[in-house]
Structures are given as C-alpha cells and as structure tokens.
Structure 1
Amino acid sequence: MSVAVSMAAFALAASISPGPVNVVALGSGARHGLRASLGHVAGATLGFCLLLVLVGCGVHQLLTRLPAVAGLLHAGGVVFLLYLAWKLAMDDGKLGDAHIGRPPSAWHGAAMQWLNPKAWLAAVAGVGAYTGGEQQLLWLFTWIYGPICFVSVAAWAWAGSLIRKRLETPAHLRVLNRTLAALLVVSALYLLR
C-alpha cells in the first residue's frame, strides 16, 4: 500500500467518525439544509488543515512545553461544546426561513476544529505517523486530508438534510436537537475525565 493511500484511509476514518464538528453539521443540515451548511463544512475543513500544518510545524511540541496554554485550550473546548449543547437544547424546533436562526458559519467550523480534542488527536497522530518531520510529506498529507475532510463533514450535513424531510413538526426537531445536545454534553464530560 502506498503512503498516499494509507494517508487517505486515515483521513477518512478520522473525518467521517462521529465527533462534535460532525454532530453540528448533522444538526445544521437538518435545520438549514445542505447548501446553507456548506460554510460550516468549508470552515471546519480549512480549520483542520491549518491545524494539521501547524502541528506538523511544531505547535504540538510548544503546547507540551506550555501546559497552562494546553489546559486553557482544553477547557475552552469543553466550554464551547457545552455552549453548543445549550444552544441546541434551547432551540424552539421551528424550521422556518433560512433567515431565522443562522447556520453555523465558516469561522464557527474552523473554531470548532481548534477547540476539538478529536481534531487535535487526529492531527498529532497523523503527523506523527505519516510525516516523520518531512515538510514534503506534511504538505502531501494536508492536500490528501483536505478534500476527504470536506466530503466527510459534508456527508453529515447531507444526512441532516435528509432527516429534515422527516422533521415535519417542531416537536420532532426539538427531539433531534436535544439528542444532539446530549451527545455534545457526553463529549464534553468525556473530556473532563
């Protein structure tokens, strides 16, 4: 198996698996549809690719030398997940226009990646496994990871848009939102252990 195929398999496994970014993409797709959710998808992809490059350039080593900064990043991620869970739990369940309640933005998607421990783990593990400190391999990994990440997160938004057709009443959407909120709370609590 070539290194590029192995990189692609890693990128797919890490990007398509459930996590906070994908849960938000699913909820956004259900509430706003696929097209309106693509900003979040693009931001999450670009945010992760930037994280991947910076980890490859040594940011991870810097954070291990500055545990207070790493701790703040971790705490910020937990708080952010709880905030997202609260927003989902408080949603009224009315689909309405695209103008009512905005879909998560590209900045939101990028910030989620930077505050997402799953993204950090994937970046550190991927860089460690595939680049060996070589910049050429880091760029190859990033170019492979980007499109796979985009398609993976978009698949969650698309799945949400398919669910949207089943959410005919606000009560159904509230159930979905509260389920997604509970998943985000579980993710946050997992990070506290």
Structure 2
Amino acid sequence: MDKAARAEWWESLPAGIRDEIDGYVLQDSLLGAVRVVVDVGRVSHGIGVGVAQLIVDDRYLHYGDRVARTPASPLDLESLTYRASGCAGRIVAIEAVWDGDTVHDWFVRLLAVTVDPAGDHALATVYSSTAKRYLGEQEDYGSRHLAAVVAERVGSALATRLSVPFHFASPDTPDDEAPRWQP
C-alpha cells in the first residue's frame, strides 16, 4: 500500500478510531497503535502488521515533536550500576542484543543476564538518537552503527565494574538473531 492509498484509508476511518490510534501515537505507544490498525483493517482491507506499521509511522511523522517520546535510557556508569543492583538474581553477564522496529530502525538493548533466578533484565535501550547525543560530533566511527558503538562502550564498562563478561555477538552488523550469551 503506497502513501496515497494509506492516506485514503486513514481518511475513510471513523473519527473515533482515528482518535484512538492517534492517542496511542501521541503517547509513543507504537504497538498499541499498530494493534488497533490491524484489528480494524485486517478483514475489511487485508491490512497486516507490515502495512499497519507504515500507517502508524505516517501518524508519527504527522505529529513529529508533539509525540511524548519515551525518555532516553541513562547511559552513565553510575545509573547502569544502580539499575543492575536492582536485578533479581546473581548477574553473570552483561549482554548487548540488537532489536528494531519501523520507528527507531535498529537499536541495541543492554541486558543483565542473571541466574538464581535465570533471566534477562533490561538496563538500557540505545537508539541512534541517544547514541548521537552520547558520542557528540568529535569522532568518526566509520560504517559502524552508533548504537552499537555506545552499547559496546557502556556495556563493557559496566561488565568490568561488575566483574562479569560482556557479550555482543554482532557488534558490527545488526542481527536480531545473533547467538545469545551462554554460561
């Protein structure tokens, strides 16, 4: 579905449905907005998740700075250490894993991997915009994704502080299916 067809479909929706979707967008709730678009568009127009994401992305672009963006994760060592101290279980590794969506493109999640109980605990999400602010304009990182550069830098420092290994299976290429850390 091209942009013109998406706009036409959007305008055909009842005002209440448009308001509901826009409400999710303005709260930066991508998945909530996509769910509503799929729910109302699947049967009548064959809209699946991919097209729904494009429709919702159009709404994000429409609202721009008016979207109440989710606050950026703190990336300083003290904040990450404090977050890690709140994890249930013994931390055995700090791991960086790729993730992505249509709004943020590729990003990296920093996780504390624990045992007793076993689990992954989110410490920070490094988006490109967050990475640019963190790194500033001083250095050139070549073709590396800035989110990976920052995740590697802060994840390694945190792992060192906690005396555990740091694992990032694919630091040079976004890969959300890269092998996870194994003890």
Provide TM-score, normalisation by structure 2: 0.25
Query: Is the helix fraction higher in 1 or 2?
Result: 1
Query: Is the strand fraction higher in 1 or 2?
Result: 2
Higher relative contact order (CA 8 A, sep 6+): 1
User: Which structure's CA Rg is the greater one?
Assistant: 2
